[in-house]
């Protein structure tokens, strides 16, 4: 198997953006050193299963590290809880002392302050167990793991779960926001495949949340860290056989019309939910390209369904029939972009028409050029996610996200990356402008998406929570007041109900 480093360092998945409104700013600002007393108190209260780290310990550095450099902060200390009981003790101390804190799973959030803090950084690293139960067809996944770990553990078991699409992404934030997967057309979002959550509540008590607990079940399915900290996700598994898939990269935008025609045709003609294509328009350092990722959940795709895409001149790496793990491993990873500053944003749409796709190609050109003027290492990326229109029909239990399951929303991801911290505000403004332009193009094209719910895992900081949860917001607020009357989880960053 050839491992290919994408030509253009793959600005291929996702985006987010915003205005720098850190959750910590809701509280009177204190310097990191003020939080050292809380660190000491925690250190003196936890069992030997857990540990507190300070700079320059390598554990402290790893605990604060994020995929996007712009998402990292220097915390007063980091804490690695080793069991749910210690995590409960830690949450009680943080609440009593009103200390800002953060919870980090895989650290892939692109919004500053969502899983980082100047206070106490909780890193879930030690929750690292995976247990496959063949009898119940469920998989228990520790909240500190990456999808890479999950797929490695499931390889050869004949089972799989609805999880992340590319290497490096954490299970925790991905699941807590919803989870768009290679399997979503077939099985729904990851939150539609949950068996249960092991949760440490804001008051420090430990609870297993199942559908019987209607409120928390509703809140945890899309509600991020508003209701406590999850230590373990139990997912329902499905049988997994051999798969087919891979990717192509074509420099330039000369073939954009052909790619767009193929996307429109794919949506109109391919009804096989095992088939997925993820086209991305990228510009890296002012050089545009088209990247196409393919997946078929079977040894070989039915004849013809990807032919229009594969006919376009390209660098092409396709594997299959092969294992799901092998397919996942050959995809361009998120690593080429690790170490840059990055924001995500998104435009939910009902379908990709050629008018809308033309507008996206124009945005790729326009902002690729503009950002290169600001920062020669800048990159822009627009992901087109043509899932099956029945993607929300796989659950009939209400969930925080999406607030409306009656129609499909395809969560088009915009992603800008750059290197210079002096450009943060400019990039956030640019990303918001481009987001508005893509949304305006969809609306001009006749799509009723002016108020379509945004996907939290791709939403730019500063996005009002109404835009994520719509009519669900009041119920989420009621649940939060009951579960967290002291507002402990409000001390952690993120989209707060
Ligand atoms: C390269 C790349 C590819 C991606 N691909 C996809 C994709 O295919 N589909 C998709 O849906 N999304 C995708 N995303 C978005 C991804 O879902 C988010 O970045 C998500 O936040 C990642 O989870 P994490 O654990 O790594 O994040 P973190 O930054 O660790 O956490 C994100 C949020 O979750 C909270 N959180 C983390 N752990 C816990 C916990 N145990 N309990 C309570 N709250 C917690 C944090 O406080 C924070 O608010 C991608 C992102 C990147 C950068
Ligand atoms: C943390 O607690 C451990 C065990 O109680 C103790 O040995 C250690 O000195 C403490 N560290 C700090 C920096 O207080
Ligand atoms: C799988 O689940 C069943 C039913 O709950 C249980 O009896 C069994 O012990 C579990 N097996 C493992 C390996 O955890
Ligand atoms: C291309 O995008 C830019 C920025 O959104 C916009 O100003 C311009 O009018 C667009 N051009 C076309 C032809 O749509």
The pLDDT assigned to 334 comes to: 58
Q: Residue of the nearest CA to atom 11 in ligand 2?
A: 43
- Any domain includes 170: yes
- Any domain includes 459: no
Shared-domain flag, residues 118 and 260: no
Number of independent structural domains in the chain: 3
Average confidence score pLDDT of the chain: 93
Look up the CATH number of the domain holding residue 321. 3.40.462.20
Shared-domain flag, residues 197 and 310: no
Classify the C-alpha dihedral 394-397-403-406 as positive or negative. Answer: positive
Nearest listed ligand to the Cα of residue 41: 2
Shared-domain flag, residues 54 and 135: no
Residue 304: which residues within 8 A CB-CB, separation 6 or more? Answer: none
Q: How many CB atoms lie within 10 A of CB 36?
A: 14
Distance 103 CA to ligand 1 centre (A): 11
Shared-domain flag, residues 247 and 344: yes
Specify the length of the chain in residues: 497
Shared-domain flag, residues 251 and 364: yes
Nearest listed ligand to the Cα of residue 42: 2
d(CA 375, CA 330): 30
Tell which of 123, 143, 169 closes a domain.
Answer: 123
The helix (run of H) or strand (run of E) holding residue 361 is helix 354-374
Distance 78 CA to ligand 3 centre (A): 35
Strand 275-284, strand 287-296: pairing: antiparallel
d(CA 88, CA 207): 11
For the Cβ of 230 lying below 6 angstroms from any atom of ligand 1, the answer is yes
Range of the domain at 208: 130-239
For the Cβ of 97 lying below 6 angstroms from any atom of ligand 2, the answer is no
Q: Is 358 helix (H, G, I), strand (E, B) or coil?
A: helix
Shared-domain flag, residues 104 and 148: no
d(CA 401, CA 56): 39
The pLDDT assigned to 31 comes to: 64
d(CA 165, CA 13): 9
Give Cα 216 distance to the centre of its chain. Answer: 21
- Any domain includes 473: no
- Any domain includes 4: no
Residues 131-145 pLDDT 10s:
999 999 999 999 999
Shared-domain flag, residues 383 and 419: yes
Distance 450 CA to ligand 2 centre (A): 54
Distance 70 CA to ligand 1 centre (A): 15
Mutate to test the pocket of ligand 3, among 132, 134, 136 (most ligand atoms within 8 A of CB): 136
d(CA 29, CA 34): 10
Shared-domain flag, residues 176 and 255: no
Nearest listed ligand to the Cα of residue 435: 4
Enumerate residue ranges in the chain where pLDDT < 70.
1-32, 334-338
Look up the CATH number of the domain holding residue 170. 3.30.465.10
For the Cβ of 494 lying below 6 angstroms from any atom of ligand 1, the answer is yes
d(CA 382, CA 13): 8
CB 116, CB 67: distance < 8 Å? no
- Any domain includes 39: yes
- CA neighbor of 374 nearest in space, from 283, 291, 438, 252: 283
Mutate to test the pocket of ligand 3, among 129, 132, 133 (most ligand atoms within 8 A of CB): 133
Shared-domain flag, residues 335 and 191: no
Shared-domain flag, residues 226 and 343: no
Distance 361 CA to ligand 4 centre (A): 10
Structure tokens at 423: 């450009």
- Any domain includes 471: no
Task: Show the CA angle centred on residue 468, arms to residues 202 and 415, nearest 5°.
Answer: 105
Shared-domain flag, residues 234 and 250: no
Q: Residue of the nearest CA to atom 31 in ligand 1?
A: 173
- CA neighbor of 259 nearest in space, from 299, 294, 217, 214: 294
Tell which of 219, 239, 259 closes a domain.
Answer: 239
- Any domain includes 486: no
CB 299, CB 241: distance < 8 Å? yes
Alpha helices in 394-460 (DSSP H): 424-444
Shared-domain flag, residues 233 and 256: no
For the Cβ of 136 lying below 6 angstroms from any atom of ligand 3, the answer is yes
CB 381, CB 414: distance < 8 Å? yes
- CA neighbor of 199 nearest in space, from 181, 174, 224, 177: 224
d(CA 373, CA 479): 47
d(CA 491, CA 429): 27
CB 20, CB 423: distance < 8 Å? no
- Any domain includes 380: yes
Distance 210 CA to ligand 3 centre (A): 17
- CA neighbor of 239 nearest in space, from 385, 386, 131, 132: 132
Residues 328-376 pLDDT 10s:
999 987 555 667 999 999 999 999 999 999 999 999 999 999 999 999 9
Query: How much is the pTM?
Result: 0.94
Tell which of 444, 469, 492 closes a domain.
Answer: 444
């Amino acid at each position: 198997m050839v491992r290919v480093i994408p030509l253009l360092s793959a600005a291929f998945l996702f985006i987010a953006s915003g205005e720098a409104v850190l959750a910590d700013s809701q509280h009177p600002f204190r310097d990191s050193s003020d939080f050292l007393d809380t660190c000491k108190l925690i250190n003196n209260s936890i069992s030997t299963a857990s540990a507190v780290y300070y700079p320059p310990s390598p554990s402290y550095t790893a605990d604060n590290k994020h995929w996007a450099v712009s998402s990292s902060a220097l915390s007063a200390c980091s804490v690695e809880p080793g069991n749910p009981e210690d995590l409960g003790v830690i949450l009680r101390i943080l609440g009593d002392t009103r200390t800002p804190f953060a919870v980090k799973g895989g650290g892939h959030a692109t919004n500053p302050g969502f899983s980082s803090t100047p206070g106490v950084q909780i890193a879930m690293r030690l929750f690292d167990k995976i247990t496959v139960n063949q009898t119940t067809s469920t998989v228990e996944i520790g909240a500190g793991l990456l999808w890479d770990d999950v797929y490695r553990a499931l390889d050869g078991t004949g089972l799989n779960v609805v999880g992340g699409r590319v290497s490096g992404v954490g299970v925790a934030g991905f699941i807590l926001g919803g989870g768009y997967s290679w399997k979503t057309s077939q099985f729904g979002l990851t939150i539609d495949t949950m068996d249960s959550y092991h949760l440490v509540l804001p008051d420090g008590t430990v609870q297993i949340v199942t559908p019987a607990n209607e409120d928390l079940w509703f809140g945890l399915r899309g509600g991020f860290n508003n209701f406590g900290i999850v230590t373990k996700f139990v997912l329902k598994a499905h049988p997994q056989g051999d798969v087919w898939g891979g990717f192509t990269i074509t420099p330039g935008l000369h073939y954009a019309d052909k790619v767009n025609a193929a996307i429109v045709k794919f949506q109109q003609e391919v009804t096989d939910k095992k088939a997925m294509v993820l086209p991305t328009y990228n510009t890296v350092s002012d050089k545009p390209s088209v990247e196409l990722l393919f997946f078929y959940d079977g040894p070989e795709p039915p004849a013809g369904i990807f032919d229009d895409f594969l006919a376009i001149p390209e660098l092409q790496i396709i594997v299959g029939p092969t294992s799901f793990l092998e397919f996942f491993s050959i995809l361009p990873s998120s690593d080429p972009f690790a170490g840059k500053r990055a924001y995500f944003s998104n435009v939910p749409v009902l379908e990709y028409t050629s008018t809308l796709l033309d507008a996206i190609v124009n945005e790729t050109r326009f902002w690729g050029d503009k950002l290169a003027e600001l920062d020669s290492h800048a990159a822009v990326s627009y992901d087109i996610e043509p899932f099956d229109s029945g993607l929300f029909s796989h659950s009939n239990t209400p969930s925080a996200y999406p607030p409306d399951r009656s129609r499909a929303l395809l969560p088009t991801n915009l992603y800008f990356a750059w290197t210079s911290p002096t450009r943060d505000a400019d990039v956030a403004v640019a990303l918001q402008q481009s987001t508005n332009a893509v949304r305006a193009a969809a609306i001009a094209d006749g799509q009723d998406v002016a108020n379509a719910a945004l996907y939290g895992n791709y939403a730019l900081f500063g996005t009002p929570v109404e835009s994520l949860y719509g009519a669900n917001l009041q119920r989420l607020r009621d649940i939060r007041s009951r579960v967290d009357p002291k507002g402990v989880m409000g001390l952690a960053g993120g989209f707060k109900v």
